[in-house]
Amino acid sequence: MPAKLLDGKAVAASVRARVAEDVRRLRESGITPALAVVLVGDNPASQVYVRNKEKDCAEVGIRSVGRRLPAETTQAELLALVDELNRDPQVHGILVQLPLPPQIDERAVIEAIDPAKDVDAFHPSNVGRIMLGEYEFLPCTPAGVMELLADAGISPAGKTCVVIGRSNIVGKPMAMLLLHADGTVTVAHSKTPNLAEVTARADILVCAVGRAHFVTADMVKPGAVVIDVGMNRLENGKLAGDVDFEAVAEKASYITPVPGGVGPMTRAMLLQNTLRAAALLQKKD
């Protein structure tokens, strides 16, 4: 029996509706949540991502503050802008779109963002809180995966969970969230020997390696839940995930499509983080 789809579009729409209602209540109390999105240069993919984020903000009533800087912007100029946004009480979330031009140190920029406005949850302070399980914000993609699982009634508790990929953005925080949810977690990567043997034990398999069709059916346990975080463009221009979807769908119990799976969830969780940042500021006041 083919796997059931974990429909990211539908779940993300539900998250957006929930956020929109909470934003409406917050605006009634005199606070309009605002997200500043900083784009440096003219990377086409980044431009698309930023436009989508601005569209999402408009849908739920969050004010979008767009700041576009030329590709030749210096690190000092970008840090000055981040400082300005940190000090602006009308801005609740700050997102600097990555990647940045080569003359700019991404780490320095991330560390310059006020952790209370770091809606990407990339700041070392927020990363540490995720490790401790005492966080205010979660990285948007891992948070979206957990929301998808919860919506489908899939609990990681007591299950063998394998995450392929160890990036700071997805792999590492994903492992921590599954661990906090009482999963037994293995993080696999390019140096993992006998990878197929490791993944074939997984009740929940999350793949985030950025290689099209990397996970094949022989790597998947029958009945496993398969989460495909990958988004790869093939030579023919079509989008494909990290998972060989058609073959794996015949073996898994649940699977995310690409596109329409994790991607919409990532965008929805950014809105939720921005709302959270604004609500936390209201409590402080």
165 labelled binding-site residue: yes
Catalytic annotation on 47? no
pLDDT of residue 281: 79
CATH 3.40.50.10860 assigned to 30-116: yes
Structure confidence by residue, pLDDT tens digits, 131-158: 999 999 899 999 999 999 999 999 999 9
Mapped onto helix, strand or coil, the DSSP state of residue 101 is coil
Burial track 105-123 (b if 16+ CB lie within 10 A, e otherwise):
eeeebbbbbbbbbbbbbbb
Residue 204: strand pairing partners: 161, 225
Residue 213: CB atoms within 10 Å: 17
**Annotation marks residue 159 as catalytic:** no
Length of the chain: 285
Q: Which helix (H) or strand (E) holds 171?
A: helix 171-180
**CB burial readout 226-265, b (16+ within 10 A) else e:** bbbbbbbeeeeeeebbbbbbeebbebbbbbbbbebbbbbb
Ranges of each domain in the chain = 30-116, 140-263
- Say if CB 170 and CB 126 are below 8 A apart: no
Note the pTM of the prediction, 2 decimals: 0.95
Exactly one of 22, 53, 117, 221 is catalytic; name it. 53
Pick from 51, 34, 32: nearest CA to 43? 51
Which residue in 125, 38, 150, 163 sits closest to 88, CA to CA?
38
Domains 30-116 and 140-263 share a fold: yes
Instruction: State the fold for domain 140-263.
Output: Rossmann fold (3.40.50)
Please, are residues 61 and 26 in contact by the beta-carbon 8 Å criterion?
A: no
pLDDT of residue 1: 77
Phi, psi of 239 (to 5 degrees): -90, 140
140-151 vs 262-284: helix axis angle to the nearest 10? 110
Rounded to 5, what percent of the chain is helix, strand, coil? 45, 15, 40
pLDDT of residue 45: 87
Q: Are 196 and 244 in contact (CB under 8 A)?
A: no
102: Cβ contacts below 8 Å, ≥ 6 apart: none
22, 56, 97, 228: the active-site residue: 97
**Residue 167 annotated as binding?**
yes
pLDDT in single tens digits along all 285 residues of the chain: 789 999 999 999 999 999 999 999 999 999 999 999 999 999 888 999 999 999 999 999 999 999 999 999 999 999 999 999 999 999 999 999 999 999 999 999 999 999 999 999 999 999 999 999 999 989 999 999 999 999 999 999 999 999 999 999 999 999 999 999 999 999 999 899 999 999 999 999 999 999 999 999 999 999 999 999 999 988 888 889 999 999 999 999 999 999 999 999 999 999 999 999 999 977 766
Does 221 participate in catalysis according to the annotation? no
From 56, 118, 120, 228, the catalytic residue: 120
The predicted pLDDT at position 71 comes to 96
